[in-house]
Chains A and B, each alone.
Chain A
């Protein structure tokens, strides 16, 4: 009857606890089998008992603090032949004067059965036990957090790095690819995290007016909250709109305050958003004061099933112009090496360098870029920025014909190799400022000649055929976070003699330029703080009368 009652109770609560000491057996572990040396096991027969050596559980009692309680005593009578188990149910008396005579508190002497979760009490149980610590009195915990609430309301919120930028309805969205390349609109833009994402969106000409994500309105609709949880709103203004035609040609629109919504025109859907670039201006108090969005709108035709959208967000501090760094302070691999000139003719401390006139750091220090047609003279001046840590080799082929004049050819090749504005100084750290002269490394120019044999006829001129830029860098700073620092930059131009060709013949010589980064870090030395010294010096007039 006890098991039937237990199964009935199991539907609402757990199984009822066993409290009868005569039926309680902690060494009965095997079901329907006799456990060795377990005198209280009901599965054991008298024959099994005769094989035991001792009783592993000699006594089973309840709480020993009670004044009088029942106890089941098991023992083996080894004198008898065969040995038999003796089971006695006795009243055990606690002699202490502080034993519990009676208790009116039901949960005092036993563990409480946990509440079984049902659909009614699930929320309350989750609130009580759902966190890392169990609250004994969940209501008092809630009161504490509520008490902090009004106090926090007086405290001003502000955005911090990484916090999602909040808008009126949810968050500022920057659609990005999640698992596949399809756009997911649930990616929030984080404060001060410059992001650029590209993803694919499925479109159709018929549905282009109904798909929200291809319309400008979707991206500037909700206003951004200036600080989290506030009512101050910043509207997103349209900074510029670029219309991209089907063949890829982009034109900038003049008046940019007109909202262009997608519409169907001549079997094309125009004003489809192909790219959005957000620029948010913030103050150093963590408040967003301005938001602008630049759009690239395009058109899709009947055959298009999907378009690629690109999104970008960048943050600028108010009253500053952003200077893009290539590392802070050490160079980051993959970012362009910063370089510049020292302006001449400045009357007073010409210790002012400014970076190359294009603040675009990708244009400061460049090498020749190889093109698909490898003709040097038709190269059109394509150059690629030198990225820190990336060794590069590029080149082209020069076709020398009979009538070529040496001197102009040498100058052309020099311009080709060095580019229009070859810098004089390279920043030694990624964040070197233009006014710190010592942070800039001068470029050493070297010339070598391919000719081994010294030609006494110096009439033949030399043409440069290769430019090798060797950048030596070292690890600087602490062992756990070494920063890359450029120590030495040398540009070696190798020249060769241009031999005059008989007419009708032509020769092709390769022109190469390369950049090599070498790590010249010395082995790391641990630096210890100096032991404190006892600065015990006698005052100078200590031996006054005698000195």
Chain B
């Protein structure tokens, strides 16, 4: 109905996701530090967890940037790339939910919220791409 094809809900969600991810990153990092102090956390297990967390942060920044750019410029290419990167983020989030060395209840909570927001974002992105293409 309007000339604007950019999706407002997607933009709001991407913005909120960015803020939430900062909280997620700091919380997960703090919990890894806590686990290494309280539990027996040898270096062979600590190193992969930290490395994957950093990779996830980089991936998330890139993904959010592409998503915002694609949505605002109404181009499907960056948005499509962002959708592809979302798959990677989902895999990493599942790692922190299930395959981490120690999965605390707090880990389960933050990762569940993150996965929910990824799911919602993916749906909105598909809708937006469909709108841009047509």
**Contacts from A to B (Cβ < 8 Å):** 67, 96-105, 107-108
Contact = CB atoms under 8 A, between A and B. Distances in A.
Contacts of A105: 40-41, 45, 101-102
A99 B101 contact: no
A100 B106 contact: no
Contacts of A108: 39-40, 101-102
* Interface bracket on B: 10 to 19
B99 A104 contact: yes
Interface in B17-44: 31, 34, 39-41
B11 to A, nearest CB: 32
B106 A103 contact: no
B3 interface: no
Contact of B107 (A96, A101, A107): A101
19 contacts: A96-B105, A97-B105, A97-B106, A98-B104, A98-B105, A99-B105, A100-B39, A100-B102, A100-B104, A101-B103, A101-B107, A101-B108, A102-B98, A103-B103, A105-B45, A105-B102, A108-B40, A108-B101, A108-B102
A100 B107 CA distance: 9
Nearest to B108: A101
A449 B34 CA distance: 100
A101 B104 CA distance: 5
Nearest to A98: B104
A126 to B, nearest CB: 23
B100 to A, nearest CB: 7
B100 A104 contact: yes
Given A67-B105, A108-B39, 17 more contacts: A97-B104, A97-B105, A98-B106, A99-B105, A100-B102, A100-B104, A101-B104, A102-B98, A102-B103, A103-B102, A104-B99, A104-B100, A104-B101, A104-B103, A105-B45, A105-B101, A108-B40
B109 to A, nearest CB: 8
A70 B107 CA distance: 22
A103 B104 CA distance: 9
A105 B102 CA distance: 7
B103 A100 contact: yes
Contacts of B104: 97-101
Contacts of B108: 101
Interface string B88-105: 000000000011111111
Interface string B101-122: 1111111110000000000000
Main secondary structure of the interface of B (DSSP, over half): helix
A98 B27 CA distance: 12
A2 to B, nearest CB: 27
Considering residues A67, A98, A107, which has the most beta carbons from chain B within 10 angstroms of its beta carbon? A98
Nearest to B39: A108
A210 to B, nearest CB: 63
A283 to B, nearest CB: 51
Contacts of B109: 97
A98 B104 CA distance: 5
Contact of B101 (A67, A96, A103): A103
A99 B102 CA distance: 10
A100 B102 CA distance: 7
Nearest to A96: B105
Contacts of A101: 103-105, 107-108
B59 to A, nearest CB: 22
* Top 7 closest pairs, chain A to chain B, by CB: A102-B103, A101-B103, A97-B106, A105-B101, A98-B104, A101-B105, A97-B105
Contacts of A104: 99-103
Contacts of B31: 98
Contacts of A107: 40
A482 to B, nearest CB: 58
A100 B104 CA distance: 4
Nearest to B40: A108
B36 to A, nearest CB: 12
A113 to B, nearest CB: 15
B47 to A, nearest CB: 13
A423 B69 CA distance: 114
A109 to B, nearest CB: 9
A96 B34 CA distance: 14
A108 B40 CA distance: 6
A7 B37 CA distance: 37
Contacts of A96: 105
A104 B102 CA distance: 7
Max chain A CB contacts within 10 Å: which of B34, B104, B108? B104
B45 to A, nearest CB: 6
Contacts of A67: 105
Contacts of B39: 100, 108
A96 to B, nearest CB: 8
A108 to B, nearest CB: 6
A368 B100 CA distance: 96
Contacts of B98: 102
B110 to A, nearest CB: 11
A103 to B, nearest CB: 5
Contacts of B103: 100-104
A208 B15 CA distance: 103
A95 to B, nearest CB: 9
B105 to A, nearest CB: 5
Contacts of A98: 31, 34, 104-106
